[in-house]
Amino acid sequence: PSNPVILSSLKESLKFPSSSQASVRAMKYPLSQKGFELKVHVEEDLPAARVDQDALEQAILNLLHNAMKYSGESHEIDLRLQRKDDQALIQVTDRGVGIDQREQRRIFEKFYRVPMPENERIVGTGLGLTLVSHIVKAHGGNIEVESAPGKGSTFSIYLPLESKQ
């Protein structure tokens, strides 16, 4: 099957915080309107990576939107950018409803939504995490989730850093 995500053929070499800063700016108003606190943690001196900034920004925005939608009573979200070995690590953490272990392997499938009573009131198509996964894979990276019901979720995006040649 063809990849529906079109990345610009020229990936820019940039420092990771620029994509996250654009995402944070875009989310600032909706988060504040709903009483959320977004804590941003950026490791200093992150090396550059070759990314399609618009696509990566879309992936981060999607994870932030999901964190907001599925946060339950907690209104705290963390966005963390750091180096992990030879990769850049972008994490979005909420303290919301969480995802059962049995459902976690399916959440990146197209149109899949976790069957929970809490989710019936939340608007969504089941395409957001599929899009995020395609964007991350198109960058040569991978995405993981760590979650437990009632404890929240952490989505971790791993992307390769530029090699020093």
Distances, alpha carbon 74 to alpha carbons 92, 98, 133, 150, in Å: 14, 12, 26, 10
Taking only the tens place, the pLDDT of each residue in 34-56 is 888 888 888 887 777 778 888 89
Predicted confidence at residue 125, as pLDDT, reads 65
Predicted confidence at residue 64, as pLDDT, reads 94
Predicted confidence at residue 109, as pLDDT, reads 78
pTM for the whole thing? 0.82
pLDDT, mean over the chain: 80
The number of CA neighbours under 13 Å toward the Cβ of 69 is 17
* pLDDT classification of 11: cutoffs 50, 70, 90: very low
How far does Cα 58 stand from its chain's mean position? 9
Q: Which domains does the chain have, with CATH numbers?
A: 12-160 (3.30.565.10)
* pLDDT classification of 62: cutoffs 50, 70, 90: very high
Predicted confidence at residue 154, as pLDDT, reads 98
Predicted confidence at residue 9, as pLDDT, reads 38
23 contacts 17 by C-beta, under 8 angstroms:
no
56: enclosing H helix or E strand = helix 53-69
Q: What is the mean pLDDT of residues 73-82?
A: 90
Predicted confidence at residue 12, as pLDDT, reads 47
Predicted confidence at residue 7, as pLDDT, reads 40
The length of the chain is 165
